[in-house]
């Protein structure tokens, strides 16, 4: 188990225990230890693009040769490019809102690519990279933010639950799903199933997340809790959520917690594969804290310049998840300029396709308001729909819906 950043006071420790409590500065130092390279951080690729060895986790990425790493790089570039395009489209009034993932590409691609087809992922609302990794067409994700749809994709086909906007709700939903996997006997060997659930540092303050930890623990659910600690819950910093590093909370619930460099795609892949394997073999749940940084606003309605210093962003830019892979690949890692140019061209084409689709996205017809409220509709709702549609038909030029 990882060592503590500070000693927990225990009953009977006497007055000295009070003195052992951390000062606010110590709390912040502990929470942010990895800004300077915390000892507890699992990392396989440094910000400078140097491959570092991990006796525990190297074997989980043995298969990641140059081609596979180039694939992860491409994934991250495409997802970032799509994210920037969507952000721009929001600024142009084409999307109602956008939730940027800038800076979190490694956490999402690394964990998303660790999943097997049979696994299930429960996202929050920033997991566009995980969606992409699960084979969800980002055009369908875009519909949510252009406000034409609440969730377009087939959750079963992709193993990717609808986005959940109420903070922390999905953690309990994921715990229930994973309990179902356990009840159905899908746990116990390499071919078993597992579930992964995404949430942020702010969500860890929610009761549902705590309850999700309790449920998953007492039912031994094959569930990987994947907390992307991006340091900010809108304007509230992590020290407003916790006194100790978030991964250390797992101990209180009786399962392993680990902090991984969330800007290191290789480490995120390895740690997620390890955690999923633990779950498949019945040793779940596992908490992963992916220590990362939200480089843009919380959403396009947010203004981070009101609450954080630009120095902070500049510091994190040096730990960019894409640049370190690029550096590694370029420095004898198996990629030449032609590869990078091709990925750039692919990402531009990907973004253009999204833009084209967004601008021409069909608006849902008015009857959609009433559709699928229930599996079996009700007479009142049917009457309300008929009355409204007939009201609409009364307008000149009606009948186009």
Partner 1 sequence: MADLQKLTIGKAINLGLRRAMESDPKVLIMGEDVGKLGGVFRITDGLQKDFGEQRVLDTPLAESGIIGTAVGLAVRGFRPVCEIQFEGFIFPGFDQIVSQVAKLHYRTQGKIKMPIVIRVPFGGGIGAVEHHSESPESLFAHVPGLKVVSVSNAVDAYWGIQQAIKADDPILFFEPKKLYHSGALKAEIDVDGTPDQLFESRVVREGTTATVVAYGPSVKVALDAAAAAEDEGKSLEVIDLRTLSPLDLEPVFESVRKTGRLIALSEAPSESSLTSEIAARVQQECFYSLEAPVLRVTGFDTPYPPAKLEEHYLPDLDRVLHTVDRSLAW
Tell me: does residue 340 bind partner 1 (CB under 8 A).
no
Kindly state the smallest distance separating residue 18's Cβ from partner 1, in Å: 31
Catalytic residue among 74, 161, 249, 294: 294
Tell me: does residue 371 bind partner 1 (CB under 8 A).
yes
Reference 106, options 318, 265, 317; nearest CA is 265
Per CB under 8 A, the list member of 164, 204, 231, 263 interacting with partner 1 is 164
Q: Give the residue with the Cβ less far from partner 1, 219 or 339.
A: 219
Place of tokens 């950043």: 5
Tell me: does residue 172 bind partner 1 (CB under 8 A).
yes
Kindly state the smallest distance separating residue 165's Cβ from partner 1, in Å: 8
To the query of whether residue 307 is one of the catalytic residues in this protein, the response is yes
- The interface mask with partner 1, positions 377-396, x = CB under 8 A, is -xxxx---------------
C-alpha to C-alpha distance for 35 and 80, rounded to whole angstroms: 23
DSSP string for residues in 342-366:
HHHHHHHHHHHHHHHHHHTPPPPPG
Write the burial class of residue 81 (CB in 10 Å: 0-12 exposed, 13-18 middle, 19+ buried). Answer: buried
Q: Give the residue with the Cβ less far from partner 1, 156 or 306.
A: 156
Kindly state the smallest distance separating residue 330's Cβ from partner 1, in Å: 43
Tell me: does residue 207 bind partner 1 (CB under 8 A).
yes
Kindly state the smallest distance separating residue 241's Cβ from partner 1, in Å: 19
Q: Give the residue with the Cβ less far from partner 1, 212 or 256.
A: 212
Catalytic residue among 91, 307, 391, 401: 307
Per CB under 8 A, the list member of 57, 73, 145, 177 interacting with partner 1 is 177
208 Cβ contact list (under 8 Å, min separation 6): 168, 169, 171, 172
Q: Give the residue with the Cβ less far from partner 1, 73 or 226.
A: 226
Tell me: does residue 55 bind partner 1 (CB under 8 A).
no
Q: Give the residue with the Cβ less far from partner 1, 109 or 144.
A: 144
Tell me: does residue 181 bind partner 1 (CB under 8 A).
yes
Tell me: does residue 306 bind partner 1 (CB under 8 A).
no
Per CB under 8 A, the list member of 311, 372, 395, 396 interacting with partner 1 is 372
Tell me: does residue 124 bind partner 1 (CB under 8 A).
no
Tell me: does residue 147 bind partner 1 (CB under 8 A).
no
Tell me: does residue 156 bind partner 1 (CB under 8 A).
yes
Tell me: does residue 215 bind partner 1 (CB under 8 A).
yes
Pair 67, 334: CB distance under 8 Å: yes
Tell me: does residue 212 bind partner 1 (CB under 8 A).
yes
Is the peptide bond preceding residue 397 cis, with omega within 30 degrees of 0?
no
Q: Give the residue with the Cβ less far from partner 1, 253 or 274.
A: 253
To the query of whether residue 368 is one of the catalytic residues in this protein, the response is no
Task: Give the CA radius of gyration of the chain.
Answer: 23
Q: Give the residue with the Cβ less far from partner 1, 64 or 142.
A: 142
70 Cβ contact list (under 8 Å, min separation 6): 329, 334, 335, 339
To the query of whether residue 60 is one of the catalytic residues in this protein, the response is no
Kindly state the smallest distance separating residue 302's Cβ from partner 1, in Å: 22
Determine the size of the site formed for partner 1 (CB under 8 A). 41
C-alpha to C-alpha distance for 138 and 128, rounded to whole angstroms: 7
Tokens at 134, concatenated: 């699960």
Pair 302, 234: CB distance under 8 Å: yes
Catalytic residue among 298, 324, 326, 355: 298
Q: Give the residue with the Cβ less far from partner 1, 42 or 204.
A: 204
C-alpha to C-alpha distance for 375 and 372, rounded to whole angstroms: 6
Residues classed as catalytic: 294, 298, 307
- Chain residues in the site for partner 1 (CB under 8 A): 122, 150-151, 154-156, 161-162, 164, 166, 169, 171-181, 183-184, 207-208, 211-212, 214-215, 218, 371-376, 378-381
């Amino acid at each position: 188990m990882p060592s503590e950043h500070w000693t927990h006071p225990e009953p009977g420790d006497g007055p000295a225990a009070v003195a052992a409590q951390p000062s606010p500065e110590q709390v912040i130092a502990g929470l942010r230890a990895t800004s300077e390279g915390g000892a507890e951080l699992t990392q396989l690729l440094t910000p400078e693009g140097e491959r570092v060895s991990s006796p525990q986790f190297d074997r989980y990425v043995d298969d990641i040769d140059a081609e596979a790493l180039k694939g992860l790089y491409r994934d991250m570039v495409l997802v970032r490019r799509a994210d920037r395009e969507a952000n721009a489209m929001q600024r142009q009034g084409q999307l109602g809102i956008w939730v940027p993932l800038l800076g979190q590409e490694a956490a999402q691609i690394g964990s998303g690519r660790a999943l097997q087809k049979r696994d299930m992922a429960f996202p929050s609302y920033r997991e566009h990279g995980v969606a992409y990794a699960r084979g969800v067409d980002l055009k369908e994700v875009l519909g949510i933010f252009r406000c034409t749809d609440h969730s377009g994709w087939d959750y079963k086909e992709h193993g990717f639950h609808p986005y959940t906007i109420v903070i922390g709700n999905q953690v309990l939903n994921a715990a229930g799903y994973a309990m179902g996997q356990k009840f159905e006997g899908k746990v116990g060997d390499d071919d078993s199933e597992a579930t992964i659930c995404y949430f942020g540092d702010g969500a860890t303050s929610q009761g549902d997340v705590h309850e999700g930890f309790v449920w998953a623990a007492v039912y031994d659910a094959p569930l990987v809790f994947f907390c992307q600690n991006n340091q900010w819950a809108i304007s509230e910093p992590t020290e407003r959520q916790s006194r100790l590093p978030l991964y250390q909370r797992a101990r209180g619930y009786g399962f392993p917690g680990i902090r991984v460099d969330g800007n290191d795609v290789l480490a995120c892949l390895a740690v997620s594969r390890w955690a999923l394997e633990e779950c498949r073999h019945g040793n779940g749940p596992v908490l992963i804290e992916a220590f990362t940084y939200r480089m843009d606003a919380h959403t396009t309605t947010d203004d981070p310049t009101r609450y954080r210093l630009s120095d902070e962003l500049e510091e994190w830019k040096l730990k960019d998840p894409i640049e370190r892979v690029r550096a590694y690949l370029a420095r004898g890692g198996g990629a030449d300029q032609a590869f990078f140019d091709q990925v750039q061209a692919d990402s531009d084409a990907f973004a253009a396709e999204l833009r084209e689709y967004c601008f021409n996205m069909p608006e849902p017809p008015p009857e959609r308001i009433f559709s699928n409220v229930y599996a079996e509709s009700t007479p009142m709702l049917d009457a309300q729909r008929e009355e409204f549609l007939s009201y609409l038909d009364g307008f000149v030029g009606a009948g186009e819906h």
